Amino acid sequence: MNLKTIHYDNQKVLKAYSNERNVFRGQASTSNVLYFFYKGDECLYIGESETSLYHRCFKHSPKEKDQPWFKEADTINIIELDSNIDKFSRQTLESTFILTHKPKYNKKA
């Protein structure tokens, strides 16, 4: 398990073919993750994905980049999970973090 922090400016990351988007793609390319969107110290959203966060943000439907937490956040903390962590375990971890952090935009717990 690894922890990664990405600081970003969503206006620059949202521009197609920008250097910032390429940097974001490289930083958010790991699969099997839990991710935490923050604005300062406030946790806005917690999610999980079998695919990379970049895929969730720009390729998956609905796209995370269109969500308010992506637009408001300035930092993403990513927990890269071991390959033996399955979907059920990822979702259990996600729910546990949601219950403890109570993010502004999460509806499930």
pLDDT tens figures, 14-48: 887 889 888 989 999 999 999 999 999 999 999 99
E strand spans, 22-105: 33-39, 42-49, 75-80
pLDDT tens figures, 49-70: 999 999 888 887 778 888 899 9
Contact 101, 43 (CB under 8 A): yes
Amino acid sitting at position 20 = E
Q: Is pLDDT at 102 greater than 70 in this prediction?
A: yes
pTM exceeds cut of 0.75: yes
Shortest CA distance to 58 belongs to which of 101, 8, 4, 104?
Answer: 8
Please compute, for residue 31, the number of CA atoms within 13 A of its CA located in the half-sphere on the CB side: 7
